[in-house]
């Protein structure tokens, strides 16, 4: 299941509440002096809540306890980041030992604040070589400034779902691979009844479902920050190319106003009235979980999956996509950090465990060995996302000490820009850079 359950604007709430700022935590309250071979009970807080997900977690814990009969794990699900961070600030016996988060954007704050402990000493002590176990891109989003305070616990890869029946009807032979093909095919696939839309090729509007601008922007491999941590969106040519392409996608299909009116007629993302499932979209940006849902809903058309298109001048990178995922770590306040590490190590690095968990909840495995395992789900649509995850050009969002606030600022600007309310793009991007830098500075003070 997707990480959509964590609202895209959640980082703003957390930062505003002061839950993650540096200095809030007291890293001295926990202990790594415990003996992990002695009987102990540790608590694991996670965000999964659906019946199948909870079963997959419980099965994982049962496998762990079989290997470590002295360690009993108390699992607590459906816990949001805000609750975790309130508990870690308070500390005490009620706080969790092992923590997880769907929000990789917050890793910079977890590490910088000290609320999640640095895992490198535990890896060194137990011989886990992280560079050999995990793809580098996933290590990038689970660390900050050299502090590996989290490890990847499955991943999400984003690609393009497409309606093969609509493609055949429109005379489009294959999914587009470049942005110029993307624009042309979107126009061909758009179908009207008079002035009213029956279907659009691709809905570029940033408020649609998973269309957060950072996800499509990843196809350009932007550089968000310079070496000093300053926002550089206004200096990156990729930013201008991205917004130019988004505008061309809109114009080719009728313009923002008409598309936005059509978008507001769509059903809920997770219902059978989802716009792709109901045939209102011929192409759609989404994660690997969507395929399972399309099968469960018995889609009435033939569909396929492909990577999202790439800029024409980066055609060699086709196959890339946007990556995110779940992360797991150890609470600074835990007095059983060595026992907690045994659970974190098992959940994140044991190949059979990672494969079984990935198959159970239809997420992308997060270790090199698991990605190559013959035991993985053989569904070809799922394997497309595995290829995206393995692609060396795939992108993750850079960690920041202000969490995901810079993504929220990019979203807000993108909404304004697509609606035609920020006509001077360069001026708008310079202002965006200043807003991001101000938030970063505030989070450090």
* CATH topology identical between 3-156+323-390 and 158-317: yes
Q: How do residues 99-138 score in pLDDT, each as one tens digit?
A: 999 988 889 889 988 999 999 999 999 999 999 999 999 9
Fold of 3-156+323-390: D-Maltodextrin-Binding Protein; domain 2 (3.40.190)
Phi, psi angles (nearest 5°) of residue 141: -85, 0
The CB density around residue 358, as the number of other CB atoms within 10 Å, is 26
Closest by CA position to 359, among listed 342, 374, 343:
374
pLDDT value, residue 399: 83
Phi, psi angles (nearest 5°) of residue 41: -115, 125
Please state, for a pLDDT cut of 70, what percent of the chain lies above it.
93
Total-model pTM: 0.87
Residues with Cβ < 8 Å from 18, sequence gap 6 or more?
A: 24
Q: What is the mean pLDDT of residues 50-64?
A: 95
CATH code given to domain 158-317: 3.40.190.10
Identify the H or E element spanning 197. strand 196-202
Taken as a whole, the chain contains a residue count of: 445
Domain positions in the chain are: 3-156+323-390, 158-317
Closest by CA position to 374, among listed 386, 385, 361, 389:
386
Q: How do residues 329-344 score in pLDDT, each as one tens digit?
A: 999 999 999 999 999 9
Mapped onto helix, strand or coil, the DSSP state of residue 247 is helix
pLDDT over 80 (residue 199): yes
Which pairs from 275-280 meet CB under 8 Å and 24+ separation? 275/203, 275/208, 275/209, 276/161, 276/163, 279/163, 279/166, 279/199, 280/197, 280/198, 280/199, 280/200
């Amino acid at each position: 299941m997707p990480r959509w359950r964590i609202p895209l604007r959640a980082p703003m709430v957390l930062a505003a509440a002061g839950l993650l700022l540096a200095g809030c935590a007291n890293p001295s309250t926990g202990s790594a002096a415990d003996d992990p071979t002695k009987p102990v009970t540790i608590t694991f807080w996670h965000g999964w809540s659906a019946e199948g997900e909870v079963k997959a977690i419980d099965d994982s814990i049962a496998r762990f306890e079989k290997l470590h009969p002295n360690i009993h794990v108390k699992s607590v699900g459906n816990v949001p980041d805000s609750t975790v961070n309130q508990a870690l600030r308070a500390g005490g016996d009620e706080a969790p030992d092992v923590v997880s988060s769907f929000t990789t954007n917050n890793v910079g704050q977890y590490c910088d604040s000290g609320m999640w402990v640095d895992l490198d000493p535990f890896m060194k002590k137990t011989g886990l070589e992280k560079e050999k176990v995990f793809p580098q891109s996933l290590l990038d989003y689970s660390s900050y400034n050299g502090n590996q305070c989290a490890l990847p616990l499955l991943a999400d890869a984003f690609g393009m779902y497409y309606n093969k029946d609509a493609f055949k009807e429109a005379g489009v032979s294959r999914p587009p691979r470049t942005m110029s093909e993307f624009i042309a095919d979107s126009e061909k696939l758009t179908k009207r009844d008079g002035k009213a839309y029956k279907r659009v090729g691709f809905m570029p509007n940033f408020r649609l479902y998973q269309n957060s601008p950072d996800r499509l922007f990843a196809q350009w491999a932007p550089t968000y920050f310079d070496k000093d941590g300053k926002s550089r969106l206004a200096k990156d040519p990729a930013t201008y190319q991205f917004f130019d392409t988004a505008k061309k996608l809109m114009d080719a299909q009728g313009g923002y106003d008409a598309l936005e009116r059509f978008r507001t007629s769509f059903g809920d993302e997770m219902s059978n009235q989802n716009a792709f499932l109901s045939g209102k979209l011929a192409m759609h940006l989404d994660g690997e979980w969507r395929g399972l849902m399309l099968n469960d809903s018995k889609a009435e058309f033939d569909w396929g999956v492909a990577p999202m298109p790439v800029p024409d001048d980066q055609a060699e990178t086709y196959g890339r996509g946007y990556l995110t995922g779940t992360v797991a770590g150890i609470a600074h306040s835990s007095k059983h950090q060595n026992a907690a590490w045994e659970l974190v190590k098992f959940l994140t690095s044991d190949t059979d465990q990672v494969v079984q968990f990935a198959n159970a909840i239809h997420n992308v495995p997060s270790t090199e060995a698991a990605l190559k395992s013959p035991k993985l789900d053989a569904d070809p649509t799922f394997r497309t996302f595995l290829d995206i995850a393995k692609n060396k050009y795939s992108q993750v969002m850079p960690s920041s000490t202000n969490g995901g606030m810079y993504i929220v600022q990019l979203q807000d600007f993108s909404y304004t820009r697509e609606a035609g309310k920020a006509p001077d793009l360069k001026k708008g991007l310079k202002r965006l850079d200043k807003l991001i830098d101000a938030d970063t500075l505030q989070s450090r003070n």
